[in-house]
Amino acid sequence: MLTSAPMSRDTAQVESRLSASEIANISLRQLKIFVTVARKASFTRAADEFGLTQSAVSRCIRELEDELHLRLFDRTTRQVALTQAGHYLVARVSPLLEEIESTLRDSHGAQDGQRGVVHVSSSPMLSSILMPSCIAGCRNTYPNISLVLKDKAQSQVLESVRSGETDFGVAIEPLDVDDMLTEPLFFDPFCVVLPANHPLAANSVIEWQDLTGLPLVTLDDDSGSRPKFDYALAVHGVPRGAVQELAHASAVFRMVEVGLGLGVVPTLTLSLLESHRLVVRPLRPEIRVAIMLVRRKGRSLRPNATAIWAQLAHLLASFETSPLAAAN
């Protein structure tokens, strides 16, 4: 995993090699193949993408390592993993390659931000609920910019932004973002989804303490909302008890429907609720998660990425979760 830790000996060596005369023999193709192997964690899959043999890709990486006098990958019979020097090189090279490719695709449109490809990452929940309409809105405003969405777990959203794989991300109140610039867009409260015949369904509002001792179903760590859920339980003195953790809101609702627990989810997920046998109640005191844009500090966005950032900020800031009553 890439971090913002102080430069190690290996990364210092990469920095030295990149500024030395030795890089004269390093080709753009070598760097593109290196980044692809790193992204796919596989020589075979990288070879398929370039239409090469695995041995040709292996030879290319070996030649690059020879030029830099550094090992970039640890190879075993089962996996390929970046070394620390390899991680650092990916972070340095990826945005440069993307900038070169964008410039070559359309040198005229690169200056005004009206053309090219912008890569954006978001968690599966946001990808399924928010991003389709946002991508359509961006396409209407910027028809010559292609917005490519990378659907990733929350931790991988942040990592893809740090590494330069994506220009920026849409995240749910990330916690470890000291190396990021963030722009909060709106705040989404937690609610309870429960069977219509459950005793608590008679209440118009449910207190967090009312959940004590009850089986709960919520989204897992990959969603981004889980840390705030854990915080809410702790701050209101609710023992964790039995908690089912699932990747998708639809799975949460199905578990609730068959009587396996009460769903505690962000209100945003209610757009996926289809069962008429379930009702929704607000949780009090209100605990909310922030939906925000995140990008790297100290690195300016390309003009087209800046345009898409601003457009997404406009579209998402105007988004309001539907009233809870509409879900009942």
pTM of the model as a whole: 0.65
Tell me, what's the pLDDT at 222? Answer: 80
**Contact between residue 129 and residue 271 where contact means Cβ atoms under 8 Å apart:** yes
Q: What is the largest CA-CA distance in the chain?
A: 75
Q: How many CB atoms lie within 10 A of CB 28?
A: 12
**Contact between residue 232 and residue 208 where contact means Cβ atoms under 8 Å apart:** yes
Tell me, what's the pLDDT at 247? Answer: 85
Q: Write down the H helix ranges in 84-223.
A: 84-105, 124-129, 131-141, 154-163
Length in residues, the chain = 328
Backbone φ, ψ for residue 76 (5° rounding) = -130, 180
220-236, pLDDT tens digit by residue?
Answer: 888 888 888 989 999 99
Gap between the Cα atoms of 227 and 288, Å rounded: 11
Question: At which residue do the structure tokens 């609920």 appear?
Answer: 129
For each of the domains in the chain, give its residue range(s) and CATH number, in order of start. Answer: 1-105 (1.10.10.10), 184-290 (3.40.190.290)
Tokens of 175: 């916690």
pLDDT tens for the chain, 328 residues long, are 333 334 455 556 666 655 554 555 788 888 999 999 998 899 999 999 888 899 999 999 999 988 888 899 998 877 889 998 898 888 888 888 877 776 665 554 445 567 888 999 998 889 989 999 999 999 999 999 999 999 988 888 988 898 888 999 999 987 778 888 999 999 999 999 999 999 999 999 999 999 999 999 999 888 888 888 989 999 999 887 778 888 889 999 999 999 999 999 999 999 889 888 999 999 999 999 999 999 998 888 888 999 999 999 999 887 755 444 334 4
Tell me, what's the pLDDT at 105? Answer: 59
Q: Write down the H helix ranges in 106-153.
A: 124-129, 131-141
Secondary structure (3-state) at 5: coil
110-129, pLDDT tens digit by residue?
Answer: 455 678 889 999 988 899 89
